[in-house]
C-alpha cells in the first residue's frame, strides 16, 4: 500500500546479517585438461655443440635424395607411357590417312638427288604414289586402270564408213575433245576412289584390312617365329594335336584383334578430346575398348612374351606397359 511503510526490506537484511556466509570447498590442486597432460614432442634443434658443416652436409644429402626420387618417378611414368595412345610410331601415324607408312630417304639418296640435274618431268611424291596404289571401295590399281581403259574404248567417237566425205579437221577435233573428256573423267573418278577424300568410317575399314595383312599369321608365319616350347610341353606324354589348316586370311589371332582395337581406340580418343568432352556414350565405348584390349594384351603377354610376334606387334603399334598393367582410367 502506498500509505503504510514496507518492512520486508528490513526483515531480509536482518536475516542476512544473522546467517553465516556459505563458502564452497575447492580442491587445492588445479584440474588439468587431458590434452595438457600429454608430454609435448621434443623438437629436434641444432645445438651449439653440433658441427655446422655436418648439419649443412646432412641437409644437402636430403635435398639430393628428394630430387632423385622425383626424377625416378618421372622416369617410371614415362616408361609406362600413355595407357590410351601409347607411343606414336610410323604405323600409328599412317592410320590417320589409311595409307602405309612411307620409307624415309637416307642422306646418300638426298645427296644423289641434289647432285643430279632436274628431270624434264618431275616424278610424283611418295604420298601421291601411295595414294594412287591404295584406293577406296575395295578397288585395286589394276582393276581401276582396266575399267577406265574399257570406258575409254566405249566412249570413243565412231569413224565414218565413207572416208571420202569425212572432214579430217572435225574428226581431229572430236578425238581431241574425247581425250580431254577422258582425262577429266579419270581425274574425277580418281578423287572419288581416293582414300584421302574418304570419310572416317571408310578409313577405319581400310585400316582394319591393312592391319589384317600386316599382323595376320597367314603372312607372318613365314618370317616370324613363335614362342619356344616350354619344358613341360617338351617332356609331356600327351600327343600334340595337329593344327587345323587355316582357310582364308587370319582375322581372329590376338595380335590382329589388338591392332584393330588400337585403330578404333585412336578414332574414339580423337573424338573424345576437344569439344566432345562431355560425350558420356563415347566415353563408355572408349573404356570398353581399352579394357578389351587390356585383356587380350595380358593373354598374349602370358603366351607369346619374348617371341618375335610379340616384339613385332609392340614395336609397330607403340604399346607400352601401361596398356596392359594396372588400372586404366578415362578422365
Tell me: the pLDDT tens digits for 83-111?
898 888 999 998 887 777 765 544 455 44
Tell me: the pLDDT tens digits for 132-181?
577 888 888 899 999 999 999 998 888 888 878 888 888 899 999 999 99
Collapsing DSSP to helix, strand or coil, 135 comes out as: strand
Confidence (pLDDT) at 301: 92
Confidence of residue 40 (pLDDT cuts 50, 70, 90): low
Q: Could you give the CA distance from residue 263 to residue 207 in angstroms, rounded to a whole number?
A: 7
Q: Could you give the CA distance from residue 122 to residue 105 in angstroms, rounded to a whole number?
A: 17
Q: Could you give the CA distance from residue 286 to residue 185 in angstroms, rounded to a whole number?
A: 42
Of 317, 255, 323, 267, the closest CA to residue 290 belongs to 323
Tell me: the pLDDT tens digits for 202-228?
999 999 999 999 999 999 988 888 787
- Better-scored residue on pLDDT, 83 or 26: 83
Amino acid at each position: 500500500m502506498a500509505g503504510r511503510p514496507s518492512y520486508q526490506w528490513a526483515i531480509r537484511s536482518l536475516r542476512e546479517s544473522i546467517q553465516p556466509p556459505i563458502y564452497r570447498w575447492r580442491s587445492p590442486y588445479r584440474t588439468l585438461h587431458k590434452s595438457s597432460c600429454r608430454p609435448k614432442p621434443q623438437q629436434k634443434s641444432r645445438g651449439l655443440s653440433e658441427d655446422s658443416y655436418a648439419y649443412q652436409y646432412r641437409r644437402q644429402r636430403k635435398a639430393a635424395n628428394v630430387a632423385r626420387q622425383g626424377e625416378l618417378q618421372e622416369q617410371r611414368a614415362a616408361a609406362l607411357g600413355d595407357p590410351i595412345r601409347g607411343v606414336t610410331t610410323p604405323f600409328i601415324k599412317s592410320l590417320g590417312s589409311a595409307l602405309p607408312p612411307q620409307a624415309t630417304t637416307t642422306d646418300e639418296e638426298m645427296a644423289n638427288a641434289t647432285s643430279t640435274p632436274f628431270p624434264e618431268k618431275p616424278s610424283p611424291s611418295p604420298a601421291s604414289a601411295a595414294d594412287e596404289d591404295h584406293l577406296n571401295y575395295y578397288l585395286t590399281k589394276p582393276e581401276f586402270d582396266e575399267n577406265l581403259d574399257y570406258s575409254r574404248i566405249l566412249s570413243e567417237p565412231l569413224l565414218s564408213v565413207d572416208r571420202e566425205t569425212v572432214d579430217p579437221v572435225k574428226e581431229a577435233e572430236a578425238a581431241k575433245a574425247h581425250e580431254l573428256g577422258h582425262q577429266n573423267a579419270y581425274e574425277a573418278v580418281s578423287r572419288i576412289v581416293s582414300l584421302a577424300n574418304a570419310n572416317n568410317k571408310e578409313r577405319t575399314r581400310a585400316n582394319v584390312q591393312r592391319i589384317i595383312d600386316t599382323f595376320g599369321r597367314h603372312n607372318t608365319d613365314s618370317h616370324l617365329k613363335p614362342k619356344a616350347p616350354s619344358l613341360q610341353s617338351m617332356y609331356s606324354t600327351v600327343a600334340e594335336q595337329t593344327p587345323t589348316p587355316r582357310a582364308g586370311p587370319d582375322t581372329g589371332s590376338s595380335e590382329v584383334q589388338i591392332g584393330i582395337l588400337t585403330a578404333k581406340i585412336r578414332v574414339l580418343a580423337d573424338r573424345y578430346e576437344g569439344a566432345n568432352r562431355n560425350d558420356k556414350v563415347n566415353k563408355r565405348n572408349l573404356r570398353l575398348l581399352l579394357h578389351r584390349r587390356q585383356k587380350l594384351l595380358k593373354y598374349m603377354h602370358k603366351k607369346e612374351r619374348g617371341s618375335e610376334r610379340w616384339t613385332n606387334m609392340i614395336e609397330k603399334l607403340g604399346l607400352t606397359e601401361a596398356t596392359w598393367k594396372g588400372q586404366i582410367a578415362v578422365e
